[in-house]
Amino acid sequence: MTTMTIEQEVNPWEAQRARFETAAHKLNLDPGLMKVLSLPNREIIVHIPVQMDNGTLEVFTGFRVQHSVVRGPGKGGIRYGPDVNLDEVRALASWMTWKCAVVNIPFGGAKGGVICDPKKMSMGELERMTRRYTAELMEFIGPEKDVPAPDVNTNEQIMAWIMDTYSMHMRQTVTAVVTGKPLNMGGSRGRREATGRGVMVVCDEALKKLRLNRDETRVIVQGFGNVGSNAARLMYEAGYKIIGIVEFDGGLSNPNGIDVDALWEHRYRTGSLHGFPGAEAMDPQQLFLSDCDILVPAAIENVITTRNADRIKCKILCEGANGPTTAAADEILAEKKIFVIPDILANAGGVTTSYFEWVQDRQGYFWKESMVNEQLEHIMRSSFEDVVRYAETHSVNNRIAAYMLAIDRVAYCLKQRGIYA
Ligand code: NAD
């Protein structure tokens, strides 16, 4: 561990592999099955020509990695960004396999990405790139094959373009090809808040376990995007004390608790968190390392590394983001006896409600929001129990328990199906 460079420590594929190998060894997984599950099933690279608004032709590189389709169609988001790379997409695809298995929904794991800077592209350019990327993947995606969803820098509009492009090729409307769609074209009620709601549900379960109460529980949330802002708002409304919000360009602190509804309203009016009168501005790094009961990293990867893990001061770490903690930092958190709710459990509320969206699209019957939330809570609570029980039975930490549970489920299915030759 000490010989590891920070570049190796923060490589998401390495982070995934380290946990996979630890869990697989603890499970005594058959070496052959281990080989199969350690690698993605399929990696697709496409070069996407796009006519830009200024008349020039640009070529963007895109990926779709299908890590596993053993338990069902691949499932996973599509990410746009200048730093997207194959290792990251690979890691995210395998995390999806484990995540879907932890919450026991009938999907495998996949992920996609396109190297581009969406902030510098017009809507027209984004649309043409999205449609051509979809067309290049026509034979690889579909309701029974691989079902994409939004991720960083992609949204409902982009899902609508993917659904339309796929449907045009199929000569019929196929809503179930993607999830995270707008509500009026096959989206699910409750999907927008689902990841944040799932975060709250597992925090509630952790409080029960540690015999803490919501109204005495101080929470710091990093990231006020989809996951963080919904988790903060739902937790605030449920009685938690949100004492800090950490964004990349500043932090907001109030030891007496931030009125998160008022903060939403302030952001809606001003377009920013800055100048919110109900909290003090604070240095984001310092706020992230401040004393609290629950820390919810809900922004980006690798925010907890060997460089700062010893200064994290929370009782519960609930990972709203994918991969916020490096494998090397896990050991430090364990020494500090921090109760970690690992990403593949903590943020699984999103994919669980995506599963409900896929089910509703295929049923052609749309559920009430209360039904979506009820089903989601049930799955999150029972998955939390499964992971914590597994950890206690096998004397491992929650993260390794979540991986073991997931790998066991996928490997069992793979063994039963057998290897097609
Ligand atoms: P988002 O883009 O809506 O929000 C991310 C927020 O984090 C933004 O407000 C951004 O300004 C902030 N941020 C970026 N860098 C930061 C930094 N260094 N410090 C503090 N804040 C920073 O994205 P999201 O959909 O909320 O996703 C957040 C994370 O959760 C990602 O890791 C994503 O893969 C994961 N996730 C999302 C979902 C979902 O349903 N949206 C589901 C599962 C996992």
**What is the average per-residue pLDDT within 210-234?**
97
CB 224 less than 6 A from any atom of ligand 1: yes
CB 195 less than 6 A from any atom of ligand 1: yes
State the pairing for strand pair 109-115/294-297. Answer: unpaired
State the pairing for strand pair 146-150/74-81. Answer: parallel
Residue 168: partners with Cβ closer than 8 Å, 6 or more residues away: none
Please give the Cα distance from 62 to 56 (Å, whole number): 19
Q: What percent of the chain has pLDDT over 90?
A: 96
Between the CA of 109 and the centroid of ligand 1 the distance, in Å, is 20
pLDDT of residue 4: 74
Distances (CA, A) of 375 to 193, 353, 393, 416: 14, 9, 27, 28
pLDDT of residue 6: 84
Segments making up each domain of the chain, as ranges: 28-185, 194-346
- Using CA positions, which residue lies closest to atom 15 of ligand 1? 248
Q: Give backbone dihedrals phi and psi of 14, rounded to 5 degrees, phi first.
A: -65, -40
What sign results for the dihedral spanned by CA atoms 10, 16, 17, 20? Answer: positive
Q: CATH number of the domain at 28-185, out of 3.40.30.10, 3.30.450.20, 3.40.50.10860, 3.40.720.10?
A: 3.40.50.10860
Substitution site in 83, 181, 248 for ligand 1 pocket (most atoms within 8 Å of beta carbon) = 248
pLDDT of residue 92: 95
**What is the average per-residue pLDDT within 346-354?**
98
Is 111 an active-site residue? Answer: yes
- Using CA positions, which residue lies closest to atom 30 of ligand 1? 321
Beta pairing partners, 220: 244, 295
Give the ligand 1 atom nearest the CA of 301. 32
The residue whose two tokens read 């376990």 is 209
pLDDT of residue 8: 79
Whether 358 and 147 have beta carbons less than 8 Å apart is answered as yes
Please give the Cα distance from 396 to 151 (Å, whole number): 31
Mean pLDDT of the chain: 96
Residue 348: partners with Cβ closer than 8 Å, 6 or more residues away: 99, 100, 102, 103, 198, 380, 383
CB 152 less than 6 A from any atom of ligand 1: yes
Whether 109 and 100 have beta carbons less than 8 Å apart is answered as yes
Please give the Cα distance from 248 to 245 (Å, whole number): 10
Please give the Cα distance from 100 to 313 (Å, whole number): 30
pLDDT for 1 beyond 70? no
Give the ligand 1 atom nearest the CA of 299. 7
Q: For the segment 366-400, what is each residue's pLDDT rounded down to a tens digit?
A: 999 999 999 999 999 999 999 999 999 999 999 99
**What is the average per-residue pLDDT within 396-417?**
97
Question: 276, 210, 269: which is closest to 247 by C-alpha?
Answer: 276
**What is the average per-residue pLDDT within 59-71?**
98
Distances (CA, A) of 201 to 82, 256, 361, 382, 386: 34, 23, 26, 10, 14
CB 185 less than 6 A from any atom of ligand 1: no
Among the listed residues 75, 99, 111, 315, the single catalytic one is: 111
CB 89 less than 6 A from any atom of ligand 1: no
Q: For the segment 117-167, what is each residue's pLDDT rounded down to a tens digit?
A: 999 999 999 999 999 999 999 999 999 999 999 999 999 999 999 999 999
pLDDT of residue 123: 98
Task: List the structure tokens of 384.
Answer: 């939390």
- At 5, is the pLDDT very low, low, confident or very high (cuts 50, 70, 90)? confident
pLDDT of residue 3: 62
CB 230 less than 6 A from any atom of ligand 1: no
- Using CA positions, which residue lies closest to atom 28 of ligand 1? 299
CB 156 less than 6 A from any atom of ligand 1: no
194-346 in CATH: which number?
Answer: 3.40.50.720
pLDDT of residue 328: 94
pLDDT for 85 beyond 90? yes
DSSP secondary structure string for all residues of 133-150: HHHHTTTT-BTTTEEEEE
